[in-house]
Amino acid sequence: MSLTQNALDEAPFGITLDDIAAFDRKQEANRVQNAPIRDVNSRDFWDFMLEPTLTDDDTAYPADVLEELSGGELN
């Protein structure tokens, strides 16, 4: 879609095409960019959550965290 010179001269609210381009660049920069760790083509999120890790040692699960997880209701 091309704009006529008359339309460009209007600069509604004082906003120009340059302002819009700058806004778009800022929006792009703000985009959340968290790349997945796993290979998404072969493993889904739950594969990731179930896979054994080097730090897997259920017996060494932090006591503080376990206490909070039970919420004082299970003992």
Partner 1 sequence: MSLHLNSATGRYIPLSPEEKYLRLVKIDKFIKRYAGIVPGMDYTDIVCRKDILLDIIEKVEKRRVYFHVFHGITMSEQNEVSLYCFWLLKLSPFFNKKHPNHSINTSIAFFMLYEAVRRISAHKGRPFIMGKDYAHDLIYAFQNRDISKEAVMLTIKSLLV
Q: Which of 23, 51, 24 minimizes the C-alpha distance to 37?
A: 51
Stretch that binds partner 1, among 5-13, 15-23, 41-49 (CB under 8 A): 41-49
Q: Answer for the pair 38, 48: CB distance below 8 angstroms, yes or no.
A: yes
Show the beta-strand stretches assigned E in 1-75: none
Token pair in block for residue 39:
């290979």
Residue 60 interacting with partner 1 (CB under 8 A):
no
Question: 12 or 71, CB closer to partner 1?
Answer: 71
CB of 18 vs partner 1, minimal distance in Å: 24
Residue 13 interacting with partner 1 (CB under 8 A):
no
Query: What is the C-alpha separation between 13 and 7, in angstroms, rounded?
Result: 13
Task: Tell me which residues touch partner 1 (CB under 8 A).
Answer: 31-38, 40-51, 53-55, 58, 61-62, 64-71, 73-75
